[in-house]
Amino acid sequence: MALDRQLLQTIIGEFTVDAEQLREVAANFRQDLKLGLIDPKDSSLRMLKSYVGLPTGKETGEFLALDFGGTNVRVSRIKLEGAGRFEVIKKVGKPLIIPGEYDYIGAESTAEQMFDFLASLIDEAVDKDHETKFYLGHTFSFPSNQTNLYNAELIIWTKEFKTAGVEGKIVNDLLKTSLEKFGLTNVEPIAVINDTVAVLLSAAYQHPDTYIGSIYATGQNNCYVEASIHDPENAGVGGMILNLESGNFMKLTPNRLDVEYDEGSEKPGEQRLEKMVSGRYMGELFSMALSEIFEEKGKNYGFTAIDMSSILMDDTIDGDRIAAIVKDKADKNVDSEECAKIKQLAAAIVVRSARLVTAAYVGMIWHRTGTGKISRQHIAVDGSVYEKMPLVQENINRALSELLGEEAANVDTILDNGGSGLGAAIAAAMAVNHNA
């Protein structure tokens, strides 16, 4: 069956964000930051206090870092050497779900099972050493209310996590209980941070002039240093980092497919921006669009962001690899022209994502800059979509230029690969210094 080309063209149009819309999203983001600082209830940005500012780069010592926020959990032992240098001494990791074997993120799993699993991984990272004292920094990449660096209470699961009994709980308390069960009373969780905060700490440890941290992966979220907030509980310098939970940013217009996806999602009405841009959702939108084009609306082909990346990377003349992926997932035979169209659809979804993410970056830059000139700065980004998805980085740069004109030359994005782990270690060091 041939695909409906006209519909495909219409859908590509629905995923296009023009210059005017881009500027409007950036301006709305800036406005929501302003409103959120006065009262988060008036903003779709959660503006969560992290109780940590920027590191000095001189933090030293050996720390445990737990990185928990996607389908893979990692625990590392990291030695901070000061002067922006560090060494990863050991690293272990495991997925939270192996279909058919175990699943710690589904609705059937409990908080206890999930945190016992984390504790067992920590046990592996310390080589079952139950004597030596270890301070642990915990990158917990979900919206959490904090009252200090230790105390983080999960507000709501995102990224389609469903584990029972964690929402509303202090996550480090759950972790502590599990650590005790494993005889790991020598491991002391001392700091919890969001992954965006971790990336910012990690990048700022190595590069001054970094004030914005971003994750662009399964989920998408940003944080920045708010210079106006001072709090005795705040560790570090330069103000307080706010985790925006900007995946929940609402002041933008979803298209027909976005609305449909949201209605059938785990948390309808939540995470509008994230559902339009992050890796977890781009594959879903692509699948939905293709099911319409193949006149099988409602069928889930299960395309992932990785499939989209492979489709965009196919440089064969006839689109052989695209045809193979479409055959595999949707059981459809497509000719070379149709492959080119399908590639355009994938591109439209990815380009929209990069443009909307950039609008948020610019909203933060405008907010931090105020009325002056934009200073030289880096935006630290980690995540597979940023790192590996074709078209993303070039479209971020293009959108930065569109929005900032010549001043875009002062801003660049830098990849901070592995920042989630390093940032957790830095946060632990900052908490130790602060408590000293």
Residue 219, interface with ligand GLC (CB under 6 A)? yes
Residue 274, interface with ligand GLC (CB under 6 A)? yes
The single residue among 43, 44, 50, 194 that binds ligand GLC, judged by CB under 6 A, is 194
Quote the tokens at residue 3.
Answer: 């695909």
Q: Which is nearer to ligand GLC, 226 or 245 (CB)?
A: 245
| Torsion region of 418: left, alpha or beta (phi above 0 gives left; psi -120 to 50 gives alpha) | left
- Residue 313 is inside which H or E element, if any? helix 305-313
The single residue among 50, 146, 172, 221 that binds ligand GLC, judged by CB under 6 A, is 221
Q: Which is nearer to ligand GLC, 247 or 418 (CB)?
A: 247
The single residue among 139, 196, 206, 234 that binds ligand GLC, judged by CB under 6 A, is 196
Instruction: Please name the residue ranges forming H helices in 64-210.
Output: 111-125, 171-181, 195-206
Give the type of residue at 71. Answer: T
Minimum Å gap between C-beta 201 and ligand GLC is 14
Residue 267 and residue 151: Cα distance in Å, rounded?
Answer: 25
Q: Which is nearer to ligand GLC, 323 or 392 (CB)?
A: 392
The piece of 25-33, 89-97, 135-143, 181-189 that touches ligand GLC (CB under 6 A) is: 135-143
Rounded alpha-carbon distances, angstroms, from residue 292 to 45, 118, 246, 276, 331: 33, 41, 30, 18, 14
The 346-385 site mask, x for binding ligand GLC (CB under 6 A), equals: ----------------------------------------
Rounded alpha-carbon distances, angstroms, from residue 340 to 112, 176, 307, 331: 48, 53, 15, 18
Instruction: Give the interface size with ligand GLC as a residue count (CB under 6 A).
Output: 15
Residue 416, interface with ligand GLC (CB under 6 A)? no
The piece of 8-16, 23-31, 193-201, 257-265 that touches ligand GLC (CB under 6 A) is: 193-201
Q: Which is nearer to ligand GLC, 11 or 215 (CB)?
A: 215
Contact indicator for 202, 223 with CB cutoff of 8 Å:
no
The 142-161 site mask, x for binding ligand GLC (CB under 6 A), equals: xx--------------xx--
* 128: CB partners within 8 A, 6+ apart: none
Q: At what angle do helices 5-14 and 256-263 cross, to 10 degrees?
A: 80
Residue 279, interface with ligand GLC (CB under 6 A)? no
The single residue among 43, 44, 50, 141 that binds ligand GLC, judged by CB under 6 A, is 141
Q: Which of residues 37-76 bind ligand GLC (CB under 6 A)?
A: 69
Residue 7's SS3 state is helix
Contact indicator for 256, 234 with CB cutoff of 8 Å:
no
Q: Which residues bind ligand GLC (CB under 6 A)?
A: 69, 141-143, 158-159, 194-196, 215, 219, 221, 245, 247, 274
